[in-house]
Amino acid sequence: LGSGATMQIRRMLNGLPAADAAHLIDSSPPNIRAVLWQLVDSENEGDIIQYLSDEVQAQFLRQMDAEEVAAITEGLEADDVADILQQLPDRVIREVLDSMDHQDRIRVEHILTYDEYSAGGLMNTDTITVRPNITLDVVLRYLRRHEELPAMTDSLLVVNRNDQFIGALPLRKLLVSDPSVTVREIMDTDVEPIPANMSQRDVANLFERHDWVSAPVIDENQTLLGRITIDDVVDVIREESDHSLMSMAGLDEDEDTFASVRSTIPRRAIWLGINLLTAFIASGVINLFEATIEKVVALAVLMPIVASMGGVAGTQTLTVVIRGMAMGQIQRNNSRWLINREMLVGAINGLIWAGIVALAAGLWFQDPVIGGVIAAALVINLVTAGLAGAVLPLVLKSLKIDPALAGGVVLTTVTDVVGFMSFLGLATYFYA
């Protein structure tokens, strides 16, 4: 790159909103990423790094020492600093905290005591609190003493003298009310504060269902700890939604689209290895029927049809159930109905396509027996697929294994084994 072009890119990059600059860096192959990052002015680094995807963020952070990390994160919100620090080894986190100014360090340390995936890890400490017995006029004058209210402030939080949360005063209520009334008279007391140990998935479901912009977080004594804002919840919703999609292909939801060849190979290799194992199991089943295949080669031609139809039907069921579980729709009391529906749908669709496959296969190989065998095997495999697709995620979840990650592998093993077994087994019976 000529230095004129470099200057132009630098100006463009540093002129963009931080989120857009981060998106540009995220969307670049590794070599270009490194160049772009060097062109970011040091005063913009902190702003931009908080918007980078986790993997890219970690990569840039690994190249900095503790003082640099402390310098670029100065001025960021405490929860964003905590998110960034969690990418680093414990020793470095300690060093960065030691380099931070006292007040900031206390705030960040506090958030770091909570699990990254809990309400506590998601919250910010920038709440504006008021007492219930003051008038709105006092509140308005108190607010005017601030330089600026924190972003996403839609409510002031009302606390008693022990800092326990007792209600919320929405700005949109404050602004339309008579200044002489007290906070207590107009505050909302039906706001359910979020316990700090609630999982981020549950927090996201609450925000989504109740259309919140922000919500107070409390500890077990009702003491107000901070608040969670919708911008961070949106990231959780995106992550949780991506989790099912990526896991079903054996990928992490944080997977960097432009990860280097070197870091991509081992991740993909493991998944291929697991699937290789299941493929060998299926081959073992076929091998049991070598003699039959030797006699009727048409069986080798048709057997992938039975297995693949089972895999497709099972994946549909699995996907519906996994999404239903992610949305919190599936419990013990309604799962039986779901399992029955899936088996019934499998049976009926099995019968519909069995007829067509039987006709096609029978005509192709001029052999009605092979048509009958494939039809029977197809119905057996589609019912199995419906059963396995619905039951597996529930069983895996109760074993604390991620259904989205393990479900597909186990499912296709089942449908391959049952598919080959039923088709070649029936054929062995009829051609023996």
Restricted to residues 323-362, the positions that interact with a second copy (CB under 8 A) are 323-324, 327-331, 334, 337-338, 341, 344-345, 348-349, 352-353, 356-357, 360
Host H or E run for residue 39? helix 30-39
Q: How far is the CB of 354 from a second copy (least distance, A)?
A: 11
Task: Give me the least distance between CB of 200 and a second copy, in Å please.
Answer: 15
The residue within the footprint of a second copy, chosen from 44, 222, 275, 402 (CB under 8 A), is 275
Q: Name residues contacting a second copy, limited to 376-405 (CB under 8 A).
A: 382
- Cβ atoms of 384 and 349 within 8 Å: the answer is no
Q: Which is nearer to a second copy, 53 or 97 (CB)?
A: 53
- Kindly state the smallest distance separating residue 396's Cβ from a second copy, in Å: 17
Name the amino acid, one letter, at 191: V
Q: Does 194 bind a second copy (CB under 8 A)?
A: no
**Residue 124's beta-bridge partner residues?**
227
Most distant CA atoms of the chain, gap in Å: 96
Taking the complex as a whole, the smallest distance from the CB of residue 237 to a second copy amounts, in Å, to 6
Least gap, CB of 365 to a second copy (angstroms): 9
Q: How far is CA 400 from the centre of its chain?
A: 16
Contact flag: residue 28 with a second copy (CB under 8 A): yes
Residue with tokens 């960034």: 84
Terminal alpha carbon distance of the chain: 74
Residue 172 binds to a second copy (criterion: CB under 8 A): yes
Report which of 211, 115, 114 is spatially closest to residue 170, judged by C-alpha positions: 211
Determine contact, residues 403/324, Cβ cutoff 8 Å.
no
Amino acid at 78: A
Other Cβ atoms closer than 10 A to 317: 27
Phi/psi of residue 175, nearest 5 degrees: -75, -20
What CA–CA distance (Å, rounded) separates 49 from 40? 10
Minimum CB distance to a second copy smaller for 145 or for 161: 145
Measured distance CA(83)–CA(86) in Å, rounded? 5
Please report whether residue 187 would count as binding a second copy according to CB under 8 A.
no
State which of residues 7, 12, 265, 359 lies at the interface with a second copy (CB under 8 A): 265
Least distance to a second copy, CB of residue 95, Å:
30
Q: How far apart, in whole angstroms, are the C-alpha atoms of residue 284 and residue 280?
A: 6
Place of tokens 């007391």: 189
Q: Is 44 in the site for a second copy (CB under 8 A)?
A: no
Q: Is 141 in the site for a second copy (CB under 8 A)?
A: no
Question: Per-residue x/- marks for a second copy, 110-129, CB under 8 A?
Answer: --------------------
| 307, amino acid identity | A
Applying CB under 8 A, does 432 fall inside the site for a second copy?
no
Q: Which of residues 12 and 272 has its CB atom nearest to a second copy in the complex? A: 272
One residue of 1, 8, 15, 29 binding a second copy per CB under 8 A: 29
Stretch 90-109: interaction string toward a second copy, x if CB under 8 A: --------------------
Concatenated DSSP letters of 125-189: ----EE-TTSBHHHHHHHHHTSS-PPTT--EEEEE-TT-BEEEEEEHHHHTTS-TTSBHHHH-B-
Q: Is 147 in the site for a second copy (CB under 8 A)?
A: yes
**Near a second copy in 204-243, by CB under 8 A:** 207-211, 213, 230-231, 233-235, 237-238, 241-242
**Helix or strand (DSSP H, E) at 245:** helix 230-248
Give 272 or 395: the residue with its C-beta nearer to a second copy.
272
Helix (H, G, I), strand (E, B) or coil at 315: helix
Which residue stretch of 1-9, 110-118, 292-300, 390-398 sits at the interface with a second copy (rule: CB under 8 A)?
A: 292-300
Query: Site size for a second copy, by CB under 8 A?
Result: 116
Residue 290 CB, nearest distance to a second copy (Å)?
A: 5
Q: Are 205 and 325 in contact (CB under 8 A)?
A: no
Stretch that binds a second copy, among 85-93, 97-105, 160-168, 320-328 (CB under 8 A): 320-328
Question: In the bound complex, what is the minimum distance in angstroms from residue 219's beta carbon to a second copy?
Answer: 24
Which of 167, 175, 174, 173 has the alpha carbon at shortest distance from 191? 167
* Minimum CB distance to a second copy, residue 105 (Å): 25
Calpha distance 374→208 (Å, rounded): 47
Among 319, 381, 384, 415, indicate the residue that binds a second copy (CB under 8 A): 319
Pairing mode of beta strands 194-195, 214-218 = parallel
How is residue 55 written in tokens? 């993997």
Asked if 271 touches a second copy (CB under 8 A), the answer is yes
DSSP conformation letters of 251-273: --TT--TT--HHHHHHHHHHHHH
Of the candidate spans 84-92, 166-174, 218-226, 394-402, the one that interacts with a second copy by CB under 8 A turns out to be 166-174
Q: Indicate which single residue of 171, 359, 363, 395 sits in contact with a second copy (rule: CB under 8 A).
A: 171
